[in-house]
Structure 1
Amino acid sequence: MAHFYLIVSQQEPNRYPYLKHVYANETMEVILDRRLAERRERQARPASERRRTDRRSRNVSDALKQYGWVLARGR
């Protein structure tokens, strides 16, 4: 069964309780965006990359700014 995250922007905290009340269930988790800033860019790449891909496979920042929330699929 697929799991989804409805991420609410820090700029729209008043939406969080309503969205959690309406949409939270066994397959949908409503969370408040906790990121303080975007990830820092590294100057040099590590000798061997441990991860196959970046865990943040999609940039959600633009959608959070535009809509105040974004829907993401969990693993």
Structure 2
Amino acid sequence: MARLLLVVSRTQPTRYTYLKHVFASDIIDVIFDRRMEARRQRQEPVALDKRRVDRRQRDIVQDLKSFGWALVRH
């Protein structure tokens, strides 16, 4: 199972092909960004969760816009 994901912007099919050829391995999976649109936002504030630490990974949107790809652990 791969430990890293190289996420490529769906607007970069040529870059995806190149990165898949160069980097795909047992350690790295090269995938297209499959997200469709921004998530819905709530009208009312969300109650404070009992968990104090946000476990989500960093947002990769800026990397996808700037570089056309982003590298994340999974």
TM-score with structure 1 length normalisation?
0.77
Residue 3 of structure 2: aligned partner: 3
CA RMSD of aligned residues (A): 2.3
CA contact (8 A) 2:6 2:72 kept: yes
**Residues 19-68 of structure 1: per-residue CA shift (max 9 Å, x gap):** 011101111000000111121112233x685x87464x211001100000
Where in structure 2 are there 5+ consecutive unaligned residues?
none
Aligned length: 71
Identity value in percent: 46
Distance in 1, matches of 2:2 and 2:16, equals 22
The residue that corresponds to 2:67 in the other structure is 67
Q: Which one-letter code corresponds to 2:10 in the other structure?
A: Q
Unaligned runs of 5+ in 1: none
